[in-house]
Amino acid sequence: MSMNAWEKFKNIYLVDLLESFSIAMAITVILYYVFFTPNIVDGSSMEPNFHDKEFLVTDITIQWFGGLTKDQFHYDYKRGDIVIFKALNMELIKRVVGLPGDKVKISSGHVYINGELFKEDYLSPTTLTDMPFRYQSTFKEDEEVTVPQNKYFLMGDNRMYSEDSRYSDVGFIDRDNIKGRVILRIYPFTYFAQK
C-alpha cells in the first residue's frame, strides 16, 4: 500500500471512529437525561435499604406514560415502588405506600391499606410505623384517611427518622411532583443493581 493510500485509509478510519463515538455519546446523553436521570441519596430516611451518598438511576418515562397506559399495560406507580419527588424545596426519596383512592391507617405501629395489614417485606419485622411527634401530623393514630385522586402517600423505610406523608408539611404527594421511579443502584458497586 502506498503512503498516499495509507494516509487516505487512516483519515477515513479516524473520521468513522469519531462519528461512531459522537453518535454513541449523543444516544447515551439522551437516554441518561431524557429517559433516565441520576440521583444521589441524601440522608438516612431510607435506611437500611438505601444509604446516604448512594448513586441511583431513576426512570422518568413512567411519569410521562404511566397515567396514560395504566389500564392497558399496568405501567404506573405501584405500592412498594421507590420514587424521587419534590417537596420541602428539595428532591426526596421515599416509598409508595398508598395509591390514589386507597384508605390508609396507622395503628399500633402497623400500616393498614384498605382495611388490611400492609406487608412490607423490605422492612425488618421489628420495624414499627409510629405517628410522628416532632411536627404536625397529617392524621392521627387509628384514623383512616383516603388518599386523594392524583396523589400518593409516601413513607421512608427508616420510619423513626423519615419526614414523609405522615407530616403535614409533606402530606400527600401530587403525581406532578414525582420525578420518577428508582430502577437501579449504581454506586457503591457492592450494591450494584439492587433496589
My answer on whether 29 and 45 are in the same domain is no
Tens-place pLDDT, residues 128-165 = 887 766 666 767 888 999 999 999 999 999 998 899 99
Same domain, 4 and 95: no
Average pLDDT value for the chain: 85
Q: What is the pLDDT of residue 11?
A: 72
Domains identified in the chain, total number:
2
Catalytic residue (one of 45, 105, 162, 179): 45
Most confident listed range (58-67, 108-117, 132-141): 108-117
Residue 46 shares a structural domain with residue 130: yes
Q: Is 86 a catalytic site residue?
A: no
Query: What is the residue range of 30's domain?
Result: 1-36
Answering whether pTM is above 0.85, one says: no
Closest by CA position to 35, among listed 63, 64, 66, 59: 59
Indicate if 47 and 123 belong to the same structural domain: yes
Name residue 173's beta-bridge partners: 152
Q: How far apart are CA 20 and CA 10, in angstroms?
A: 15
Kindly report whether the peptide bond that precedes residue 38 is cis, defined as omega within 30 degrees of 0. Answer: no
Per the CB < 8 A criterion, the answer to whether 115 and 103 are in contact is yes
End-to-end CA distance of the chain: 56
Specify whether 94 is catalytic.
yes
Is the per-residue pLDDT at 54 higher than 90?
A: yes
Regarding whether 91 and 31 lie in a shared domain, the answer is: no
Lowest-confidence region among 35-44, 68-77, 86-95, 105-114:
68-77
What are the b/e assignments for 1-25, b being 16+ CB within 10 Å? eeeeeeeeeeeeeeeeeeeeeeeee
- Three-class SS of residue 21? helix
Domain match, 99 and 3 both: no
Q: Do residues 10 and 63 share a domain?
A: no
Q: What percent of the chain has pLDDT over 90?
A: 49
Q: What is residue 190's predicted lDDT score, i.e. its pLDDT?
A: 61
Please tell me which residue in 8, 10, 70, 94 is annotated as part of the active site.
94
* Same domain? 62 vs 30: no
Max Cα–Cα distance, the chain, nearest Å: 87
